[in-house]
Amino acid sequence: MLEQLPNILVWAVIWVTSWGIFFWFIYKKEVDYIKHFLWTATYFLSVAVITSLIFREHIVRALNGFTMTPFIVLGVVILIHIILYIYVPKYLHEPKDYFEKYPKRQYLKIDRRRLVSKSMDILAQQIFVILLVIFLHDAGLTLGQIIIAFAIIFGFVHAPLILVERGSWPSWYFTVFSIFSAIVFPTLILKVQYGFVYSYIVHWVFYTFTAVGFWILYPRYKNILNKKYESNISKNW
């Protein structure tokens, strides 16, 4: 494990630096996932390419044993996403009041422009995921040990979200699921041929499921909150 520590430390520095630059400099200048989606997509694509070049020997190893099947599945998933992003906004009511209150929570928006930028964001994240799994595997850990180590490390690097979102539900939601992803991502990458493609698909579907689920559930929970609010007012009166 100690021999892989330098790789993991460099990996962590790149992760923190790339996200720090985005959140504290780029995003603050209103280069977001929707209005300036091409710039955001270009940034995360650059992060993915630079990180891959730094650890090119590890990435090349992951590309051995090419198979077309996962890319066919990916193509189908992309088509389904395009259809969803076109038709869901037509049939579900967008929670505009929520987005007016929390304009930076664009991960809950269903917008075709975000589909482009978020796909590059997820690509960059998955490059980090693949590398971390390879580092832990090269350290001689078993799959079970890799899952535990991955959960600790990946959960730790997601922890700053709690500070960025000031402890709100999205910070805990994504941090908790980043820990749960430790079961899925390493297993796919290590046990399935070209499993990193399926890992990317799972990651992408998770974000889409989150956004669509939020649009579906928000009106229901909003009504409950309104009732509680009205109940409190009546009690005060």
Q: Which pairs with CB-CB distance under 8 Å and at least 24 residues apart come from 159-165?
A: 160/16, 160/19, 164/23
Q: Where are the domains of the chain?
A: 2-236
pLDDT score at 177: 86
DSSP reduced 3-state for 140: coil
Q: What is the pLDDT along the chain (237 residues), one digit of tens a residue?
A: 678 899 999 999 999 899 989 988 888 788 899 999 999 999 999 999 999 999 999 999 999 988 999 999 999 999 999 999 999 999 999 999 888 888 888 889 999 999 999 999 999 999 999 999 999 999 999 999 999 999 988 878 776 666 666 657 777 788 788 888 999 999 999 999 999 999 999 999 999 999 999 999 888 877 543 344 344 333 333
Please, which residues have CB within 8 angstroms of residue 87's CB and are 6 or more apart in sequence? none
Please, which residues have CB within 8 angstroms of residue 223's CB and are 6 or more apart in sequence? none
Report the candidate in 110, 114, 119 with the shortest Cα–Cα distance to residue 86: 110
What angle in degrees, to the nearest 10, is found between the helix axes of 5-21 and 143-158?
30
pLDDT score at 217: 87
Which region, left, alpha or beta, applies to residue 49 given φ > 0 means left and ψ of -120 to 50 means alpha? Answer: alpha
Whole-structure pTM over 0.85, yes or no? yes
DSSP reduced 3-state for 64: coil
Q: How far apart are CA 176 and CA 158, in angstroms?
A: 9
DSSP reduced 3-state for 55: coil
